[in-house]
Amino acid sequence: MRAASSTFLLLIGMLVSSTAGAQGPLPQQGPVLQRVPENVILVKGAWSSASDTVTPLPEGGKVSTASYDNPYFGLTVPLPAGWIQKYEGPPPSDSGYYVLAQLRPADPSHEKARGTLLVAAQDMFFTTTHAAGPLELINYTRDHLQADYRIERPPSNVTIAGRDFVRFGYVSPVAGLHWMFFATQIRCHVVEFIFTSADTPLLENLTRNLGGLKSQPERPATEPVCIKGYVSAENILERVDPVLTENKYNQVPVRVIIDREGKVKHIHFLSAFPSQSQAIAAALSQWRFKPYLRNGQPVEVETGMLFGHVPQGAL
Amino acid sequence: MATRKSLMGSEPLPVPAGRPALVLLCSLALSSLAVPSLGLAQTDPGIRPGAINGQTGATTTSPLPVASASATTNTPQGVSEFFLNGLGRFQEVESVSGGANNGLGPRFNFNSCSGCHAQPTIGGSGLPSNPQATVLNSVGGNPPIASSSTNTIPSFITANGPTREARFPFFFNSSQTGVNTSAPNGGVEDLFTVSGRADAGKCSLAQPAFAFAQSVNDVIFRIPTPVFGAGLLENLDDSTLLANQATQANNGLGISGTFNHNGNDGTIARFGWKAQNKSLELFAGEAYNVEMGITNEIFQNERPLPGEDTPSPGNTPVGLPSNCLNLSGTGYPEDATNFAPTNPTAAGSDTFALNAQIPSDVVQFAMFMRLLAPPVPSTTVPGGAAAISEGQSLFSAIGCSVCHTPTLGKTQVSAVTAGLSGVTVNPFSDLEIHQMGNGLADNVSQGGAGGGQFRTAPLWGLGQRAFFLHDGRTSNLLTAITDHASSGSEATAVIENFEDLSTSQQQDILDFLRSL
């Protein structure tokens, strides 16, 4: 048992440090490069990382010529012909917001119909909106729209490719731009497909194109059960608080997968400084939870935790 | 809607001040006659003429209105005297020793606050012509600011380029043949030394290895941030900033910023390109020490370069050499509280003017910035009222205003002056830090901000800025806009919306921004 924990801790330390970039105290020796590479962010600050490189992450989707594929969410979204991702999105925010993909026509000349598709996700463990699901989150957006936007389609439930979505549309009359949201809930996230265009026929085509979405309306039995608030006194058997030696006044949202024995199997830091992720990983390796039972059988649980600069009672 | 067009060009020249009509006519004539096959494109109208406060013909910096100051303990006359005193100190030219104002160096970027904060007037950003490019010249019979026997002008400092400070994101490797990316640096590398000046004794220092740093892509730049309206930003309570942030959640544009916090009290910091400084006094004290080499009551010690106080194998750091310390001969700090008025004759019987002479320079720099009025936008220039109005609507419509928040809220009650109390603040900034992608990243971390994060730059006064973005990489507003998009940037979706607008719509936005 002790040996296993030590190995786990060592692995976490190695992996976290290898994914988190250059920070921290000056080393006596280090890798040497002749030049600073162009267009690379090496000093990352608070960034995302994980305890292993195998478990899919929300931000781990890929854009190919034909589709956007996201193993974590179990999604495959067909792309309109000629659409590309020119720029990748930013890292997850400390409020659990993801830009998963940003797509647009490869040729955005004025002669072509122009538009964009933003695939985003909000981790509902960490949203600041108090929304519990897609409808409430979309309603929040509706309630905070700029005054000069006009709602074209009030939030409503629709079914696309066998999956439940909330659809919401509005227009900026002055810009002639239309926005169309399709929001659905997966693994305690709200995943949003947001189409923007001045060309309403294009928007209709894009909406129809979303019908080619491949997803898993029924989550696989092997997938962890996502439960908000699972990290509570009644479920924690052993707990060691991390010692964060430097207060950056940032909150550190963390998703964990707890295995059938109640041990932390996987850690995903949405936004953490390297020293924070290392300290938290070291502590979580020592936590023990009551195994979660479904139909009398222990199953894996996915839940969220906040560390760092967080409101009282956040854990 | 704006109807003005000009010839397509990737780097359009700014319109000369005061001559937009002529340029308009020329542009239309050329586009319709000379090269009819060329398309029309949006163009940065260039630096808007006129004073920062919108007063025709005015050339001086203006304070906040103080007419209604009776609600506070400070009278309008007192506020005015402190403002004017701070304004005067902001323009003082510093010597190393033996002058009217001493303490410069041993390293510095310039010798006065107003030399860098000058465009379009005192308190602004850098001038179109960079005074740093002339520091080796003798002007008006005065000796050069820096000696040409010991200093050279770095290649990134040019006569018509931006006023800059330089930083090395990483330390060089131990063999000085490249960089060590495991050793982040990020501190300011001052451009010049006082060595060789007649008033600098035997202090002998070399400039940092700028040419080598450039050769290994290990130097980044920052330009002066304008400080107009800074007192209003300082006087916004954290709750106001947080309330604005809350309205931005799930905005459908891929934007989700955060705040930089002061490491001591944990409140939201808000000054500097990465919002790393909490207050104007801290901002002033740091700049006095870092940019001019003048120690003060907040930063009491001479500042070595980052490599001069950092241990490394085979190198025991010694800091600055002793013959470069206390060059002013006054002891430390070189700027301190004056226990009596420094020039009672000039103040006469004016008690407020006498009192204003007592605080240190840093306190009065901060007071000047605190009392400095925000820019007043033009409603008609450039492009006309219709274009500006349309541009403002489009600016919000496509999502720019999610970060560049036009109205951030009202200031808290001020004990300084009613001019700071309950004022609606229109900075076009949320004061948050946002991920700006690898195209703008500088690999410098400050406080909670990483190498790719920057504070949303306030846009008030933008119309009269000469250079844009944190490093002044462009004087073309259109380039500055499109440079917001790159991998890892929160602004990409908004820029794509901008690019999907028609040419005339984009021109309206440019006109609006140049009206600020």
Residue B251 φ/ψ, nearest 5 degrees:
-85, -5
Looking at the partner chain, which of A28, A140, A181 has a beta carbon nearest the beta carbon of B249? Answer: A140
Distances (CA, A) of A227 to A59, A251, A262, B5, B60: 20, 20, 14, 57, 62
Residues A135 and A84 in one domain: yes
Residue B230 neighbours by CB under 8 Å, 6+ apart: B271, B280, B369, B370, B372
The Cα B124–Cα B466 span in angstroms is 10
Residues A113 and A175 in one domain: yes
Is A297 buried (19+), middle (13-18) or exposed (0-12) by CB count in 10 A? exposed
Residues A9 and A91 in one domain: no
> CB A90 to CB B438 under 8 A?
no
Q: Which residues from chain B sit within 8 angstroms of residue A175, using beta carbons? A: 393-394, 397-398, 497, 501, 505
Q: Which of A23, A33, A200 to mutate to test the interface with B (most CBs of B within 10 A)?
A: A33
Pick the CATH number of B228-275+376-515 from 1.10.760, 2.60.40, 1.10.3470, 2.115.10: 1.10.760
B223-276 pLDDT tens trace:
999 999 999 999 999 999 999 999 999 999 999 999 999 998 999 999 999 999
> CB A31 to CB B180 under 8 A?
yes
Q: What is the model's pLDDT at position B359?
A: 98
Among the candidates A190, A212, A234, a domain finishes at: A212
Q: Which residues from chain B sit within 8 angstroms of residue A40, using beta carbons? A: 438
What phi-psi label fits residue A136: left (phi over 0), alpha (psi between -120 and 50 degrees) or beta?
alpha
Looking at the partner chain, which of A22, A32, A197 has a beta carbon nearest the beta carbon of B173? Answer: A32
Please report whether residue A271 resides in a domain. Answer: yes
Residues A76 and A173 in one domain: yes
Please report, in angstroms and rounded to a whole number, the separation of the first and last CA atoms in chain B. 18
**Cβ density class B204-243: b for 16+ within 10 Å, e for less:** ebebbbbebbeebbbbbbbbbbbbbbbbbbbbbeeebbee
Q: Which residues from chain B sit within 8 angstroms of residue A123, using beta carbons? A: none
Measured between CA atoms, the residue of chain A closest to residue B501 is A175
Residues A190 and A99 in one domain: yes
Please report whether residue A171 resides in a domain. Answer: yes
Cβ of A30 under 8 Å from any chain B Cβ? yes
pLDDT in tens, chain B (516 residues): 333 333 333 333 333 333 333 333 333 333 333 333 344 589 999 999 876 554 443 345 677 775 444 434 567 888 989 999 999 999 999 999 999 999 999 999 999 999 999 999 999 999 999 999 999 999 888 899 999 999 999 999 999 999 999 999 999 988 888 999 999 999 999 999 999 999 999 999 999 999 999 999 999 999 999 999 999 999 999 999 999 999 999 999 999 999 999 998 999 999 999 999 999 999 999 999 999 999 999 999 999 999 888 777 677 888 999 999 999 999 999 999 999 999 999 999 999 999 999 999 999 999 999 999 999 899 999 999 999 999 999 999 999 999 999 999 999 999 999 899 999 999 999 999 999 999 999 999 999 999 999 999 999 999 999 999 999 999 999 999 999 999 999 999 999 999 999 999 999 999 999 999
Please report whether residue A150 resides in a domain. Answer: yes
The Cα A172–Cα A150 span in angstroms is 6
The domain in which residue A245 lies consists of: 2-22+35-44+222-308
> Which of B515, B514, B393, B496 is closest to A175 using CA atoms?
B393
Say what the pTM is: 0.90
**According to the 3-state scheme, what is the secondary structure of B216-254?**
CCCCEEECCCCCCCHHHHHCCCHHHHHHHHHHCCCCCCC
Please report whether residue A49 resides in a domain. Answer: no
ipTM value of the model? 0.89
Please report whether residue A125 resides in a domain. Answer: yes
The Cα A305–Cα A253 span in angstroms is 6
Please report, in angstroms and rounded to a whole number, the separation of the first and last CA atoms in chain A. 27
Cβ of A245 under 8 Å from any chain B Cβ? no
Residues A228 and A192 in one domain: no
Where are chain B's structural domains? 228-275+376-515
The answer to whether B127 and B119 are in contact (CB under 8 A) is yes
Q: Which residues pair with B435 in a beta bridge?
A: B453
Residues A248 and A198 in one domain: no
- pLDDT exceeds cutoff 50 at A303: yes
Peptide bond between residue B382 and the one before it cis (omega within 30 degrees of 0)? yes
The Cα B244–Cα B89 span in angstroms is 36
Residues A73 and A146 in one domain: yes
User: Which A residues in the span 112-171 are in contact with B, Cβ-Cβ below 8 Å?
Assistant: 114-116, 118, 120, 122, 127-129, 137-138, 140-141, 144, 146, 148-149
The answer to whether A252 and A272 are in contact (CB under 8 A) is yes
Q: What is the model's pLDDT at position A281?
A: 98
> Which of A211, A236, A244 is closest to A310 using CA atoms?
A244
Q: Which of B173, B180, B182, B278 to mutate to test the interface with A (most CBs of A within 10 A)?
A: B182
Q: Which of B244, B247, B256, B483 to mutate to test the interface with A (most CBs of A within 10 A)?
A: B256
Residues A69 and A206 in one domain: yes
Cβ of A275 under 8 Å from any chain B Cβ? no
Looking only at Cα atoms, what is the longest distance across chain B? 72
Q: How far is B454 from chain A (nearest CA, A)?
A: 12
Residue A28 φ/ψ, nearest 5 degrees:
-75, -35
Q: Which residues pair with A255 in a beta bridge?
A: A268, A304
- Looking at residue A178, which CATH number applies to its domain? 3.40.1000.10
Among the candidates A171, A193, A212, a domain finishes at: A212
The Cα B235–Cα B232 span in angstroms is 5
**A73 is written with which tokens?**
């969410």
Residues A94 and A155 in one domain: yes
User: Which A residues in the span 41-100 are in contact with B, Cβ-Cβ below 8 Å?
Assistant: 41-47, 86-91, 93-95, 97, 99
Q: How many domains does chain A have?
A: 2
A80-136 pLDDT tens trace:
999 999 999 999 999 999 999 999 999 867 656 789 999 999 999 999 999 999 999
Please report whether residue A28 resides in a domain. Answer: no
The Cα A13–Cα B511 span in angstroms is 52
> Which of A155, A186, A187 is closest to A168 using CA atoms?
A155
Residue A235 neighbours by CB under 8 Å, 6+ apart: A289, A290, A292
Residues A197 and A270 in one domain: no
Please report whether residue A170 resides in a domain. Answer: yes
Residues A74 and A146 in one domain: yes
> Which of B492, B478, B390, B393 is closest to B439 using CA atoms?
B492
The Cα B54–Cα B212 span in angstroms is 45
